[in-house]
Amino acid sequence: MAHNLEITNGKASFAYAGRPGWHGLGQSIPRGMEDSETVSELAGLNRTVALAPLYTMFDGPPVALPDKFATVYEDSGFVLGVVGSRYTVVQNATAFKAIDRWLADGRVRYETAGALDEGRKVFILVRIDEDFAIAGTDPITPYALVTNSHDGSSGLGVKLVSTRVVCQNTLNVALREKGERIGIRHTASAEANIESAAQALGLVSRQQRQMMERFEQLAQMNAGQSDVEQVVDLVAPDPAKVTVSLTERQRNRAGRRHESFMTFLQHAPEMPTIVSAGGLDNRWGLFNATTEWMEWVDPTKSTQILERRMVGSLEGAVSDARQQVYDLLTAD
């Protein structure tokens, strides 16, 4: 099953507000009942996880394994994982309690919740009721994703995403999104850190709103031929115009990059992502086209595997160049 949802007594451990997931499974969250206790019950996330000692047998009586425990469902004894002595179970009810306090300001509401891999991994997705439409056509729906695990594979995680999580595949997509993730280990201090994570997430969401407002300002600014030329000179300059001395290899490389970028800009107005950004006539569209080329089209990076490209986009040369393009387009 591609959705990988936990199925208990023929019932999927999944709840949703509004429309169901592509798999058509789960229970609908009634309006007005959007608190974590109700959502957890509908999604089957209200089961208690306990620690149980582990034993081994070899030609004799059972011997307890030191510093090793199994995480199990208390109601059935089903084994979820094996953990060490420092591991502290963070119950789903505890993990999501802080969200209720965040919900109190009316800005957010529960969107989906579910258990994956027979209950080993859990998620709750909260929709931040501040949809954005940059340039009037480029829609972005912000969510806060809270994840928890009971097999020792990961701690509690909180992250801002734009993917609606309804299954394992969409969870994987959301976790790969760019953005800050707050991680909390399963230790004795985990419960105290959950509230801090919710507060930090609120701060990040406000920063996101400010960032979207800046992007909207870009969308309202015209992008003329001189703007395009300045971006080209910054990102992939024509080697014929470069004043510094270049080796033949450097000149060939620069030529390939320049030709590739110019060709990309020629066809960019027809691309769906650029159309939704309002085209190349505004600076938001030009910024999107430039960053898309740098991250995914630049021929001098074609030999890199996807993971390396993502790292470069987030924290390497591409990240630095993207900031330079943004600074250039917002200078006026």
What is the value of pTM for the model shown?
A: 0.60
What is the number of structural domains in the chain? 2
Q: Look at residues 154, 180, 209 and tell me which one is the last residue of a structural domain.
A: 209
Within a domain: residue 276?
Answer: yes
Residues 103 and 140 in one domain: yes
Residues 171 and 267 in one domain: no
- pLDDT reading at 316 higher than 60: no
Q: Coil, helix or strand for 280? A: coil
Which burial class, exposed, middle or buried, applies to 266 when counting CB atoms under 10 A from its CB (0-12, 13-18, 19+)? Answer: exposed
What domain range includes position 147? 7-209
Q: What is the pLDDT of residues 143-171, one digit of tens each?
A: 778 888 898 888 777 777 766 666 766 66
Residues 112 and 48 in one domain: yes
- pLDDT reading at 177 higher than 70: no
Residues 169 and 67 in one domain: yes
- CB within 8 Å of 305: residues ≥ 6 apart: none
Within a domain: residue 231?
Answer: yes
Within a domain: residue 215?
Answer: no
pLDDT band at residue 313, thresholds of 50, 70 and 90? very low
- Calpha distance 231→246 (Å, rounded): 21
The sign of the CA dihedral 87, 91, 95, 97 is: negative
Q: Look at residues 155, 177, 209 and tell me which one is the last residue of a structural domain.
A: 209
Residues 230 and 201 in one domain: no
Q: Look at residues 209, 244, 269 and tell me which one is the last residue of a structural domain.
A: 209
The helix or strand, by DSSP H or E, that contains position 233, with its residue range, turns out to be helix 225-235
- CB within 8 Å of 290: residues ≥ 6 apart: 231, 235, 322, 325
Residues 198 and 92 in one domain: yes
Residues 255 and 310 in one domain: yes
Residues 240 and 193 in one domain: no
Q: What is the pLDDT of residues 240-262, one digit of tens each?
A: 888 888 889 899 999 999 999 99
pLDDT band at residue 332, thresholds of 50, 70 and 90? low
By the 8 A CB rule, do 110 and 39 touch? yes
Within a domain: residue 100?
Answer: yes
- pLDDT reading at 63 higher than 70: yes
Burial 146-177 (b: 16+ CB within 10 A, else e): bbbbbbbeebbbbbbbbbbbbbbebbeebbee
Within a domain: residue 126?
Answer: yes
164-180 mean pLDDT: 63
Residues 180 and 42 in one domain: yes
Residues 167 and 226 in one domain: no
Residues 45 and 166 in one domain: yes
Q: Give the model's pLDDT for residue 223.
A: 92
Within a domain: residue 108?
Answer: yes
Within a domain: residue 261?
Answer: yes
Residues 253 and 196 in one domain: no
37-57 mean pLDDT: 89
Within a domain: residue 216?
Answer: no
- pLDDT reading at 310 higher than 50: no
